[in-house]
Amino acid sequence: MEILQAVASTLVPPLCAACGRACRAEAVVCTRCARRLGSTEPLLGSGPPGLDKAWSSAPYEGVARDLVAALKFRRLLPVADLMADRIHWLAPAHMLSGTVVPVPAAGSRLRRRGFDPAGELAAALAERLEAPLATCLVRAGAGRQVGRRRAERIGHPPRIQAVGAAPRSTLLIDDVLTTGATLTACARALRAAGASRVVAITFARRL
Ligand SMILES: [Zn+2]
């Protein structure tokens, strides 16, 4: 089996998760994409309402955007490791304390894909930080969304609930921060369940 895999890897060279060009074995992205991602600046701010701080490793564009898509739609798990490495290396150490909590995937989306990008990223980051991981948030009232028209659903922030008590200090993790409505809903649920500090960390942030 190992021989077959070795033969297969010579016949089919590994491809860059961002641009799809051939890249060296064991690499997730090619040197060009690695250099491009390396030249982007992290973003730090007070973030959406309800958060103490929000930090993102890169703007949601270029290679960062391609990697978010690779994790979400092509389920390339090594991409979650690359994202977690970048966050681990670049985020200020004082921001990376607390219990890691993934933003919960919408039930219907999770069922369709059978895959949860925020959950994978949170697990990879918790491993690097040697921090506890708590999947203590769930999407609530999904059934009520079904009857709504799409435009109405977009206007409503997701309903999110904590399951049991929340950790006092939490690191809320998502792959990408877009409008911030989801992070705000998560922060409110965490605080209602006892959290006193909620810091959001995302791989990318839409500008
Ligand atoms: Zn590339």
pLDDT band at residue 198 using 50, 70 and 90 as cut-offs: very high
Between the CA of 102 and the centroid of ligand 1 the distance, in Å, is: 28
CA distances from 205 to 65, 151, 201, 202 (A): 9, 23, 10, 7
Burial of 62 by CB count in 10 Å (0-12 exposed, 13-18 middle, 19+ buried)? middle
Q: What is the pLDDT of residue 145?
A: 46
Between the CA of 84 and the centroid of ligand 1 the distance, in Å, is: 18
Between the CA of 95 and the centroid of ligand 1 the distance, in Å, is: 30
Between the CA of 33 and the centroid of ligand 1 the distance, in Å, is: 4
Between the CA of 158 and the centroid of ligand 1 the distance, in Å, is: 34
**What pTM did the predictor assign?**
0.87
Q: What is the pLDDT of residue 105?
A: 87
Between the CA of 19 and the centroid of ligand 1 the distance, in Å, is: 4
Span 11-55, pLDDT tens digits: 567 899 999 999 998 899 999 999 999 999 999 988 899 999 999
Span 114-129, pLDDT tens digits: 789 999 999 999 999 9
Span 103-116, pLDDT tens digits: 998 766 666 667 89
Tokens describing residue 187: 């922060």
197-205/99-102 β-pairing: unpaired
pLDDT band at residue 205 using 50, 70 and 90 as cut-offs: very high
Contact 174, 198 (CB under 8 A): no
Span 146-166, pLDDT tens digits: 455 555 555 677 899 999 999
Q: Name the helix (H) or strand (E) containing 125.
A: helix 117-129
Between the CA of 82 and the centroid of ligand 1 the distance, in Å, is: 13
Percent of the chain with pLDDT over 70: 84
